[in-house]
């Protein structure tokens, strides 16, 4: 069975600090996709990034970067020079490969509540 663990329940940092959110996953599939979503107080899940299991290249998008390491089954998310607007709950999620008649529901971690203090 697939599982996503976000061990950090809450992180609080001062604005402009760098912060890393950890994500560890478990899956028996060799083909799978990993996602990060941001959930502001409004409730909507905002898509940040998707990674497939064959692409271990790290990715940078502005102040955001992601480190995917299959050897440790981790997909960590770093925010550089954090801002108050980054405050939200962040979720890591996993989707295993489609096979046979299966569908592709996401398995989410419990989320990390990130608080950026001014």
Q: Which residues bind another protein (CB under 8 A)?
A: 4, 6, 33, 35, 37, 42-47, 50, 52, 91, 93, 95, 97-98, 101-111
Q: Which of 79, 113, 94, 78 is nearest to 24 (CA)?
A: 94
Q: How far is the CB of 101 from another protein (least distance, A)?
A: 7
| Cβ distance to another protein smaller for residue 78 or 113 | 113
Q: How far is the CB of 81 from another protein (least distance, A)?
A: 26
Q: How far is the CB of 1 from another protein (least distance, A)?
A: 10
Farthest-apart Cα atoms in the chain, separation: 50
Is the distance from CB of 8 to CB of 109 less than 8 angstroms? no
Q: How far is the CB of 102 from another protein (least distance, A)?
A: 6
H/E segment holding residue 21: strand 19-21
Is the distance from CB of 73 to CB of 101 less than 8 angstroms? no
| Cβ distance to another protein smaller for residue 16 or 31 | 31
| Cβ distance to another protein smaller for residue 6 or 82 | 6
Is the distance from CB of 23 to CB of 6 less than 8 angstroms? yes
């Amino acid at each position: 069975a697939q599982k996503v663990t976000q061990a950090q329940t809450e992180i609080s940092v001062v604005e402009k600090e760098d912060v890393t959110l950890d994500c560890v996953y478990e899956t028996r599939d060799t083909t799978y996709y990993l996602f990060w979503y941001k959930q502001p107080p409004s409730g909507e899940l905002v898509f940040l990034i998707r990674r497939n299991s064959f692409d271990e290249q790290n990715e940078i998008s502005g102040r955001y970067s992601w480190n995917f390491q299959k050897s440790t089954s981790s997909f960590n998310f770093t925010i550089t020079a954090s801002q108050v607007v980054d405050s939200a709950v962040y979720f890591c999620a996993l989707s295993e490969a489609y096979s046979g008649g299966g569908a592709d529901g996401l398995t989410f971690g419990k989320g990390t509540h990130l608080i950026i203090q001014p």
